[in-house]
Amino acid sequence: MPRSKRRLHSRSGSRSSVGGGGVGRYEEKRLKHHTESGDGYKSARKSNTSSSRRKRKRSEESHHQRSLGSTSGGHRKNRYREEKQPRRREDSRTSRKDREREREQHRPEDPKKHTTSGAVRNDSDGHLIYQSGDVLHNRYKLLSTLGEGTFGRVVKVKDTAKEQTIALKIIRNVEKYRKAAKLEINVLEEIIAKDPFGRYLCIQMLDWFDYHGHICIAFEMLGLSVYDFLKDNKYEPFPMEHVRHMAYQLCFAVNFLHSIKLTHTDLKPENILFVNSEFTTVPSNSTRKSREVRHVNCSDIRLIDFGNAIFDHEYHSTIVSTRHYRAPEVILELGWAQPCDVWSIGCIMYELYLGITLFQTHDNREHLAMMERILGPIPYRMAKKTRTRYFHHGKLDWDEKTSNARYVRENCKPLARSAICDAPEHAQLFNLIGRMLEYDPNDRITLAEALDHPFFAKLPAHQKLHLQHRYGSNDKSTSSSVPAGSSRDFSHSLSR
């Protein structure tokens, strides 16, 4: 199966269309942003013993797996199936007490630990055991399960106090997931404080509570994710007017996050949901097959999944973002800030336009080779600055005779050549994508600048939200709390 297409088997796991699916894809990694002090390679380099080499290999394998992500956005499994790791060998020098302490740390939490009555039970993984009709918190009547992931489950519930149907995310009764959920709640509360009416297109948290050790977060109900809609539509690209509107809304929402000193760090089609994903079936314009395709009736979207969002003042871990949308400064471990979100948006816009992933790979070196094939050589200053081993004398260390190199040559081409036609709006789209995919984050366009790009000029006046908020908003609380543009503050970057 050609890798240039989205591989259906590579996105295994259930996918819910609910807004409540906006959970942190890397819940465990999100915690490590606050607990780890650096990357795992440095200490491994200090020893030449065989034991240290084994440890280094395990550390690098673990680091690579974390870079791919241990869970998927919301409630689906990883895009690429992780290989089973070999059983860890105990070091003969490790004491019995140390080994027991380590096993205790990794032992699943007792599912009965937070159970206060016989009616509340957990399974062996810490998931809440429930059935349709159960009522949580004397308010939320469970109707059906919408999705499941490493973090827990998302359930369709009826809010009996307000007589409305919403989505409830029920976190597993495991300490690390409870902590990750509380971090996400902190971000969601900050978003509500700065945008109480939801005008900046981020999903709204309606309520949260602790139910016998299960953190529960209530969200508004939304439609399918952009990725799920693409998949169900056989990866048929969106019409240009939908690409324009959806890209604009994404820039608008993320620019708001940047203005309140937040970086999302995990932007991808799975984390963009349609408000309503009802569609109309129309004949396909494609010459490949005479079939019908789906056009969504309303292209309004909401941004979800703030489990990995990082405030400017917080610790920035080395690796963030889902592989396909990861910026070069992250791969090269040069430190990152808000421009890494801009790179992700550029990749998403390409995918909306063509229906395929721009960088379909799961290997760092191949990823960099694809970048050079599509965008040109990586700047010498970045190649010399990185401590990774992907370059030799400032050039990418890439064997052009391998099958991987042949795949890159055959399936990747300069960015501008991907345009379907030479019409001005297509050229404008690729101009904007190109400015978002500048290698150097300091040269990358900001989202405040992107909102005024000529590609968005054709939007109807009522869809140009940044102009309404800039010139016509009467909401003092919103307009006064959010600056007009996003900042290029790199003071918290981990650049070396």
Over residues 286-305, the pLDDT tens digits come to 655 667 899 999 999 999 99
- How distant is the alpha carbon of residue 230 from its chain centre? 17
Using DSSP's 3-state secondary structure scheme, residue 267 falls into coil
pLDDT of residue 474: 45
The string of DSSP letters for 275-323 reads: S---EEEEE---SS---EEEEES---EEE---TT-EETTS---S--S-G
Higher per-residue confidence, 437 vs 95? 437
pLDDT digits (tens, 9 = 90+) for 442-461: 999 999 999 999 999 999 99
Per the listing, tokens 């939304």 go with 222
Residues designated catalytic: 266
pLDDT of residue 122: 86
The predicted model gives 466-494 an average pLDDT of: 47
Q: pLDDT confidence of 165, banded at 50, 70, 90?
A: very high
Higher per-residue confidence, 12 vs 237? 237
In angstroms, what CA-CA distances link 496 with 248, 343, 383, 488?
34, 21, 12, 18
Higher per-residue confidence, 51 vs 340? 340
Range with the poorest average pLDDT among 50-64, 325-339, 405-419, 481-495: 481-495
* 420: CB partners within 8 A, 6+ apart: 353, 354, 426
Give CA–CA dist 67/50, Å, rounded.
26
pLDDT digits (tens, 9 = 90+) for 362-390: 999 999 999 999 999 999 999 999 999 99
Give me the residues paired with residue 217 across strands. 169, 208
Q: pLDDT confidence of 84, banded at 50, 70, 90?
A: very low
Give CA–CA dist 27/67, Å, rounded.
13
Percent of the chain with pLDDT over 70: 69
Q: What is the mean pLDDT of the chain?
A: 79
The predicted model gives 393-415 an average pLDDT of: 95
**What six digits make up the tokens of 361?**
């790979």
The predicted model gives 180-205 an average pLDDT of: 95
- Check whether 104 has a pLDDT greater than 60: no
Angle ∠(23,151,200) on CA atoms, nearest 5? 5
- Check whether 124 has a pLDDT greater than 90: no
Q: pLDDT confidence of 467, banded at 50, 70, 90?
A: confident
Q: Are 180 and 307 in contact (CB under 8 A)?
A: yes
**In order of start, what are the domains of the chain with their CATH numbers?**
122-219 (3.30.200.20), 224-467 (1.10.510.10)
Is 313 exposed, middle or buried, given 0-12, 13-18 or 19+ CB atoms closer than 10 A? exposed
Kind and range of the H or E run holding 184: helix 175-194
The predicted model gives 102-124 an average pLDDT of: 56
- Check whether 241 has a pLDDT greater than 60: yes
Q: Are 322 and 69 in contact (CB under 8 A)?
A: yes
Higher per-residue confidence, 175 vs 55? 175
pLDDT of residue 291: 79
Per the listing, tokens 């005008």 go with 199
Per the listing, tokens 């889902």 go with 322
Give CA–CA dist 194/188, Å, rounded.
10
**What six digits make up the tokens of 359?**
């960088």
Please indicate if the annotation marks 182 as binding a ligand.
no
Task: Mark out the alpha helices in 74-174 (DSSP H runs).
Answer: 96-106
